[in-house]
Amino acid sequence: MRFFKLKLIIAIALLLAFLTFTNIIAYGYYQKNMKIIPIDDIPQLPKDVVSVPQEPKKIVNETPSTPVKNVTQSTPPKPTPPPVQVVVQQRRTRAS
């Protein structure tokens, strides 16, 4: 093939330039738009803390259409431990 070496060198150079440019643009855009939390800033939780699934809340109409009188509870509400919500914010890695 005519100019085979020249064609090969230019093809490699173009490919490398394309990959460099697109990576920089993509990663730059990502860095600008995504808030990155450093791994050190994620609170460390004790090992024995287990995530407790939260029971689905009953939907209660706060303003009932009819007034409710003499509402008494037959049994006192069972104290439940406050739900522990574990939020793991994973460190984002470089988009490529």
- Residues in contact with another protein by CB under 8 A are 1-3, 6-7, 9-11, 13-14, 17, 20-21, 24-25, 27-29, 31-32
How far apart CA 94 and CA 96 sit, in angstroms, is 6
Residue 16 or 45: the one with the smaller Cβ distance to another protein is 16
Residue 14 or 45: the one with the smaller Cβ distance to another protein is 14
Nearest distance, CB of residue 2 and another protein, angstroms: 4
The DSSP letter of residue 47 is T
How far apart CA 85 and CA 66 sit, in angstroms, is 36
Residue 20 or 51: the one with the smaller Cβ distance to another protein is 20
How far apart CA 67 and CA 72 sit, in angstroms, is 14
Residue 13 or 37: the one with the smaller Cβ distance to another protein is 13
* Cβ pair 83, 52 in contact under 8 A: yes
Nearest distance, CB of residue 26 and another protein, angstroms: 8
How far apart CA 16 and CA 66 sit, in angstroms, is 73
Nearest distance, CB of residue 52 and another protein, angstroms: 41
